[in-house]
A and B are shown apart, each in its own frame.
Chain A
């Protein structure tokens, strides 16, 4: 459930053996400690001059290595969903155009799963009734497009952080409906701000090794992968676990505590330049 690591000219199996050998020596490929995260950097792009585009926000997510995600939010008016007439609509689309063509079929399922994860996490932290303009008739249709420029592990966390940085304090502009009604501008806010991290577990000789914020090479050799999403009160927003064997409860609580200890740093990094310059 991860994108394959970019090994260049090295064969993937040899690359995995190299990573396993480093992990047995308590080392990581990029030299980080086992319990450290890669602090994200968010660049907000001001594209107010081009009015013909419906781009409401555009952010570029990078960390100190590899991962680079471009998040573009566009908004149009549309009918509300029939099941929830008082809510707006939010769609998430994840694309990875810079992966080799022979693996396009292989990564399509991963991208769909990423889009579903980001959308469900954002919906649980964002009130969709704020996107409603006229109940049952008109609402904002927000489209979040995430373009994976570089993928180096931790894709759920990276895409979620990029989308949250773009949507938080998003200004829905003043617009006119086709019926002539004027809709005032509105500011979109999260009632709780999620941060996420991916944790890999390697079981060697009966002892568990936790790898916080795994990269692509470690995800290809890890036995268990966990994705933990928490909010400001350290409440669990989402939790994904898949691997080769089940985990005991102390391992789960250790993983959540490991992410919670870095939650404030992650949240401040995402929100510190969240308001676009006016």
Chain B
């Protein structure tokens, strides 16, 4: 059974391609391509936190922005709304970064992370999490572990597919997303959308975890082979 995106099995995932230091004016940056999804993440030079935020831990602020022509639904809308899915994603990514980055090593510093979604064909969270992890590692911030994300979806015919693309995501009855650390396997973020039985939710989450861990060798190989790291 061939999937919509041409993958051979329902357990197949798209492997990311990571390019580090693609922007010259930032502290560090990473560009991740996952099939037809392309994401650029930039980390600005750390700044001194102002007086009311002094303490023993630093902060990571995240902004996610979507290019107007990245998704098909965004191209037609002309009104920029205040509440967007990118806002939810940025808040969740800040929570993930607080768990992964050792903030005690950067006291009184603010690390600003900007993510730009250039092209989207499903798997946006996967690409964004991978690019943010690669950019923070490339910037020299001490982290407990690398992190990545993977999604899974329950199609209308009852099949559970891993790493759905845009068509499968829009037609899915339910979908799950898991963001976890690659070496320890700890879950940093989990999300479920749609309606299905509790057993299917567990199946979706475990499939997403397996897909996320299956990308571990591809991600670590590309990061280790970089000449700077």
Contact = CB atoms under 8 A, between A and B. Distances in A.
B44 interface: yes
B7 to A, nearest CB: 15
B166 interface: yes
B69 A101 contact: no
Given A98-B42, A101-B63, A150-B23, A70 B118 contact: yes
Nearest to B68: A145
Contacts, number: 79
Interface stretch (A45-53, A193-201, A222-230): A45-53
Contacts of A70: 118
A54 interface: yes
Contacts of B40: 98, 149
Contacts of B70: 53
Contacts of B24: 6, 66, 68, 150, 152
Given A68-B23, A98-B23, A143 B116 contact: no
Given A49-B36, A53-B69, A145-B67, A6 B166 contact: no
Contacts of A53: 69-72, 75, 119
Nearest to B63: A101
A54 B69 contact: yes
A76 interface: yes
Given A9-B45, A98-B42, A150-B25, A74 B116 contact: no
Interface string A1-30: 000001011000000000000000000000
Interface in B59-81: 61, 63, 65, 67-72, 75-76
Contacts of A49: 36
Which secondary structure dominates chain B's binding surface? Answer: mixed
B25 A66 contact: yes
Which interface class (under 10, 10 to 19, 20 to 34, 35 or more) fits B? 20 to 34
Nearest to A3: B25
B65 A55 contact: no
B72 A54 contact: yes
Interface in A37-96: 47, 49-50, 52-55, 66, 68, 70, 72, 74, 76, 93, 95
A208 to B, nearest CB: 30
B176 to A, nearest CB: 23
Contacts of B68: 72, 74, 93, 143, 145
B65 A97 contact: yes
B223 interface: no
A147 B112 contact: no
Contacts of A143: 68-69, 75
A146 to B, nearest CB: 11
Nearest to B25: A6
A100 B112 contact: yes
Nearest to B22: A149
A105 to B, nearest CB: 15
A165 interface: no
Nearest to A144: B69
B26 interface: yes
Contacts of B112: 100-101
B187 interface: no
Contacts of B25: 6, 66, 98, 150-152
Given A9-B45, A150-B24, A52 B166 contact: yes
B114 interface: yes
B121 interface: yes
Interface of B: 22-26, 29, 36, 40, 42, 44-45, 47, 61, 63, 65, 67-72, 75-76, 112, 114, 116, 118-119, 121, 166-167
9 contacts: A52-B166, A54-B69, A68-B23, A74-B68, A74-B75, A97-B65, A100-B44, A100-B47, A149-B22
Given A53-B75, A72-B68, A152-B25, 19 more contacts: A50-B36, A54-B75, A66-B24, A68-B23, A72-B69, A74-B69, A93-B68, A97-B114, A98-B42, A100-B45, A102-B47, A143-B68, A145-B67, A145-B68, A147-B116, A149-B23, A149-B40, A150-B25, A151-B25
Q: Which 6 A-B pairs have the closest CB atoms?
A: A6-B25, A74-B69, A98-B42, A72-B69, A52-B72, A97-B116
